[in-house]
Amino acid sequence: MKNKGLGRGLDAIFGLDGANIDVKSTPMSSMREIELSKIIPNPTQPRATFDDEALTELADSIRTLGVIQPITVKRNTDNEYVIISGERRWRASKAAGLATIPAYIREVNDANLHAMALVENIQRQDLNAIEIALGLQRLVDECGLTQDSLAEKVGKKRSTVANYMRLLRLPDEVQLALKEGLISMGHAKAIAGVPDEKQLALLKRCLKKALSVRQAEEMARAMCEAPKAKAIEEEQEYPESYTRLVEQFEKLFSQNISIKRSKTGGGRITIDFASDADIEQFVTRFDNL
């Protein structure tokens, strides 16, 4: 599941308008071929995982076409360089058997090396929402940025930045589901909008019923509009026919549907709704059958 890139290029962020981050104005050097063995990853790299299949594909491309886009590094010692951006290309080049890689050497102080890497990674398309959120949080914590200045630096609305960082307050189970692509950021935002004690219940229903984002939002709204309603109960073990009946109802209704059976064998079927408009939608759906 792809994420939209955040913001502008590094030159715009750390160039003349980068007043809040002290990066030396010395321009990049001319491109050089640097031995791969002299390059090390940035220890503050925000990317937590690298897709093995994607790296293999990139390595195959590099064997055929070479490294098209140079990486960017910082000189650590005379014989060592730290990656600012381009760790995937560096890893794939090693896998392709290259001895050197084209690189720009950027003059940047140690205090802001990780800031450049964070912003560069946040802008990439293949980070998941949690990795982006963690990167944004680190920029706030380690670079002294407010959410307003951070939003300006990455070229996004403050509300967008706030929504990402809000994900970090979700339960670990929700964050893991988002990180693994089981739910989208839209689902996570809906989950974040319900009381803490109901978030895992909503996650469970999103996963079990494969709810769309809209359906998750509707269920979240129903939870919030009925704070005194009885909490969602764990589903009892009912005969398979009960499950099939609920599945049939779910083809018509996105709202929460539950069956409760009494000890005597009777019971009731409940279909939640949040407004009169929902009732009108029910009628329309039946009319179209």
What is the reported pLDDT for 155?
72
Same domain, 212 and 285: no
Last residue of a domain, one of 232, 262, 279: 232
What is the reported pLDDT for 30?
61
Same domain, 282 and 241: yes
Same domain, 31 and 142: yes
What is the reported pLDDT for 27?
45
Same domain, 14 and 157: yes
Same domain, 26 and 121: yes
Please pick, among 87, 120, 152, 217, the residue that the annotation labels catalytic: 87
Same domain, 20 and 156: yes
Active site residue 87: yes
Last residue of a domain, one of 209, 232, 255: 232
Q: How many CB atoms lie within 10 A of CB 225?
A: 11
Same domain, 113 and 193: no
Kindly state whether residue 5 falls inside one of the protein's structural domains: no
Q: Assess contact for 42 and 108: CB atoms under 8 A.
A: no
Enter the pTM of the model: 0.49
Regions in the chain scoring below 50 on pLDDT: 1-28, 228-235
- Strand, helix or coil at 49? coil
Q: Number of folded domains in the chain?
A: 3
Same domain, 122 and 209: no
Kindly state whether residue 84 falls inside one of the protein's structural domains: yes
CA-based R_g, the chain, Å:
25
Q: Which domain holds residue 248?
A: 236-289
Residue % of the chain over a pLDDT of 70:
74
What is the reported pLDDT for 276?
80
Q: Assess contact for 87 and 116: CB atoms under 8 A.
A: no
Q: How many CB atoms lie within 10 A of CB 70?
A: 18
What is the reported pLDDT for 115?
66
CA 100/CA 31 separation, integer angstroms:
12
